[in-house]
Amino acid sequence: METLMTSLLACDQNRNVSAETVERLYDELELVGYVVSHDLKAPLRAIQSCCEELNRHPALSDDAAGRDTLQMLNRESERLKALMQGIVDYSRLETFATTHILLDSNEIMQTVIATFGNEIKTAGAVITCEALPKVTGHRGRLTHLLAYLLDNALKFRGEQPPVIHISARRAGEMWEFCIEDNGIGINEEQFDIIFRLFQRLHTAEAYPGHGIGLALGRKIVEAHGGKLWVESALGKGSRFYFTVKSCESP
């Protein structure tokens, strides 16, 4: 597993790698995704089930250390579950049938915002969204992409409540979307790192996550014939851009 991920990261940084090599590595990654989704989920569910049973045990009511241990097990099992799902999603992206249809990105964005209702309320976030265009794409993939970007904008916030603005402008045959925030920002030398699989700039304790979302997001955008990039400065927020094909000629 470690060797496979190292090889994929090397391919991601080296554009001269042959198509055959990349295809072979993704075939192996698909197999890893299959193992993760089938063989590892069962023991994880067993661990979570045991934790639930122990949580209901009367002996724990007066055992602070035992409760703390169970909370740690619950927290780490949820992190493992999320990581496994991220690996499965990434491994399957290359094999999903590509079905691009006419989509209303306003509708998709509002659905994503509604999904993050609790997180938005907890953070005291202010989200504004301009009128967004109709585009040609895959509904599920674009929904996931916008969810990753909104989640990042909510997660990597500074001391002030998040202020997030979503917009789009015409760029030739493409629409260029922008998700802008007032969060902690990113150093320019780290722009490329954040799009690499399993690469993180912060500890999971400081900002939960597994370093998969943006790597998967870039694959989604590339599958739509576009590109995903960031403009940012440390302490001054970030602007994530991506392009997707218009449903009509300019």
Higher pLDDT, 86 or 206: 86
The pTM of this model reads: 0.65
Closest CA to 152 of 104, 217, 86: 217
Identify the sign of the CA torsion 212, 191, 203, 118: negative
Is a pLDDT exceeding 50 seen at residue 1? Answer: no
pLDDT at position 203 is 52
Q: Where are the domains of the chain?
A: 2-93, 101-245
* Two tokens, residue 227: 């590109």
Q: Are 195 and 206 in contact (CB under 8 A)?
A: no
pLDDT at position 249 is 47
Helical ranges in the chain per DSSP H? 2-13, 19-38, 41-55, 64-93, 105-115, 117-123, 139-155, 213-223
The region of weakest confidence among 3-7, 40-44, 128-132, 230-234 is: 3-7
Average pLDDT score over the chain: 76
Q: Which residues, in sequence order, are CB contacts of 108 under 8 Å at separation 6+?
A: 139, 142, 143, 146
Closest CA to 234 of 159, 161, 184: 184
Percentage above 70 pLDDT, the chain: 65
CATH of domain 101-245: 3.30.565.10
Per-residue pLDDT tens digits for 99-153: 678 899 999 999 999 989 988 999 999 999 999 999 988 888 898 899 989 988 9
Q: Are 117 and 80 in contact (CB under 8 A)?
A: no
Domain 2-93 indexed as CATH 1.10.287: yes
